[in-house]
Chain A
Amino acid sequence: GDSVTQMEGPVTLSEEAFLTINCTYTATGYPSLFWYVQYPGEGLQLLLKATKADDKGSNKGFEATYRKETTSFHLEKGSVQVSDSAVYFCALLSYGQNFVFGPGTRLSVLP
């Protein structure tokens, strides 16, 4: 079945550092890909998405590009802030199926 693999956390960075969180997937067909973020004490919020190969999703300074050839959807941000500290989930949605979420990567940004 479909699956999502994320880099193990926690990831600890200093403010203004560059962020990459790796995400790879296995799916039959051509899924849509998503990044969700969970801030402390809250539910998940959609951060960005991409629905087809080579699409780039972006929001709040975060970006991710749908790479079909490497089955990847890595999350990047050029300069993280303390307020970006959260758990980040990569997810996929195949047609006619339900969401499949990765295990989540906890990010801590230190001032």
Chain B
Amino acid sequence: EVQLVESGGGLVQPGGSLRLSCVVSGFTFSDPYMDWVRQAPGKGLEWVGRIKNKAQSYTANYAASVEGRFTMSRDDSKNSLYLQMNSLKTDDTAVYYCARDWSTALSSWGQGTLVTVSS
């Protein structure tokens, strides 16, 4: 069974930092690209970014709204995906989902972790 489990969410002040983790099981983690998607309370989905696999040099791409502030990484030996979020703004408040990228679609999703940016 494919499982993705996010953690690391919580309350952080504006300008602060937070690191999210996503541990996966049920598939060969090193193969697929992986994405982060977020959803502000009561709002729609927003693509955050994607990190490719080792064959593609772990290249990461980001949405313009987080470029320069967020950094994606992965540790294939730990079946883990990470999202380092710096210079957080109140607009970054959202549930953050990790997802497996498959044929340009997101085939499996975690249950999400809530990040609240507030003073």
- Whether both chains belong to one complex is answered with no
Residues of A at the B interface (CB closer than 8 Å) are none
